Structure 1
Amino acid sequence: MTLFVRLADWQADQSTIRKIRQKVFVEEQHVPPELEWDEQEDSAQHFLIYQKDKAVGTGRLTATGKIGRMAILKDTRGLGAGLELLKRICKFARIEGQKYVYLNAQVQAVPFYEKAGFVVAGEEFIEADIPHVRMELSLSDYQPDEKVDDWNR
């Protein structure tokens, strides 16, 4: 499967990003729309992952190093798109000088983030009526595999 991750711009790519997040978070996971869209949309660096020429996922990175709004369309899950997107976001953060990144993982997704090197760094809490836990990754020793090393900026 051919996957391609690119930097996205909230203004230019808002429609594509919104469609993916609407489908995954609002429709599938029943996150209230007022919690899904926030004041960080304009300032965050957004990413889109494509399978061939179709956008199948999105994520974002804030200036504080928080990875969030990671969403992969249901029919693409389990094919490596989520891990590829996450690695690309971490690679970008490292290039930009971040020392570490963190995220609020849904508890059911903890094993996925652990595969990428993240570690649990806190107690379970509820966000949008879904159990979450904070996870962190130090980027000082982060060595993405060759597949990620060809990041084009």
Structure 2
Amino acid sequence: MTVAVRVVDGAATRELRRAVLRPTWPVGSLMHGDDNPQAVHLAGVDEDDRVIGSCVLLPRPYPARPEQDATWQLRGMATVADLRGQGVGASVVARGLAEIAHRGGRLVWCEARVGAVAFYRRHGFVVDGPEFEHAETGIPHFPMSRAVPGRVGT
């Protein structure tokens, strides 16, 4: 499958993120990062320009390593359900790492749902702490991070 990944406005990926990550929220709800001018929204699109994957990148301190500078949070990873396992998420993560490197990031972190830990491990992330219950969703997560490869200026 060919996936193009682009920087977009948050509205372009909002419904996919809501449907996958917060299905109980009303259609049209603002999602995390939508009102943050520093957020970088990425959309994976197919040959028909349909949004099939997404993530949001936010410059944020990593609670597990407060002394680390130039940290970015990856969140809002979502892929159309019937396309999971076909490289959509991998393409989005790869572009996300490139965007963070371009912006001077040194470390990227996420709060990974238990079911997504293997996905993130395949992309170089490591578990940085114990499992925890996400305050908003009640779903078990793990803190994960990785160095940003190819960082500009290093």
Range class of TM-score, shorter chain: 0.7 to 0.9
Contact 2:32 2:76 in 1 (8 A): no
Provide Cα deviations, 1:5-45, integer angstroms capped at 9, x if missing partner.
000123xxx1x322101221222xx5x56x97346643311
Task: Supply the distance in 1 between the matched residues of 2:14 and 2:104 (Cα, whole angstroms).
Answer: 28
Q: CA RMSD in A?
A: 2.1
Inter-CA distance 131–93: structure 2 relative to 1 (3 Å threshold): same
Aligned partner of 2:31 among 29, 37, 43: 37
Quote the residue 1:18 is aligned against.
14
Per the alignment, in what secondary structure is the counterpart of residue 62 of structure 1? strand
Aligned partner of 2:140 among 110, 125, 131: 131
Quote the residue 2:58 is aligned against.
62
Aligned partner of 2:106 among 95, 99, 107: 99
Quote the residue 1:47 is aligned against.
42
Structure 2 gap ranges (5+): 61-71
Letter in 2 for 1:42: N
Contact 1:125 1:132 in 2 (8 A): yes
Letter in 1 for 2:36: D
Q: State the identity as a percent.
A: 31
Aligned residues: 134
Task: Supply the distance in 1 between the matched residues of 2:124 and 2:2 (Cα, whole angstroms).
Answer: 24
Inter-CA distance 20–39: structure 2 relative to 1 (3 Å threshold): closer
Inter-CA distance 40–20: structure 2 relative to 1 (3 Å threshold): closer
Task: Supply the distance in 2 between the matched residues of 1:22 and 1:117 (Cα, whole angstroms).
Answer: 26
Provide Cα deviations, 1:52-97, integer angstroms capped at 9, x if missing partner.
1211011110012000011111011110000110111011101110
Structure with greater helix percent: 1
TM-score for both structures, normalised by structure 2: 0.79
Structure 1 gap ranges (5+): 144-153
TM-score for both structures, normalised by structure 1: 0.80
Contact 2:18 2:31 in 1 (8 A): no
Correspondence 1:66-85 to 2 at 5 A: 66-85=73-92
Letter in 1 for 2:93: L
Task: Supply the distance in 2 between the matched residues of 1:102 and 1:88 (Cα, whole angstroms).
Answer: 15
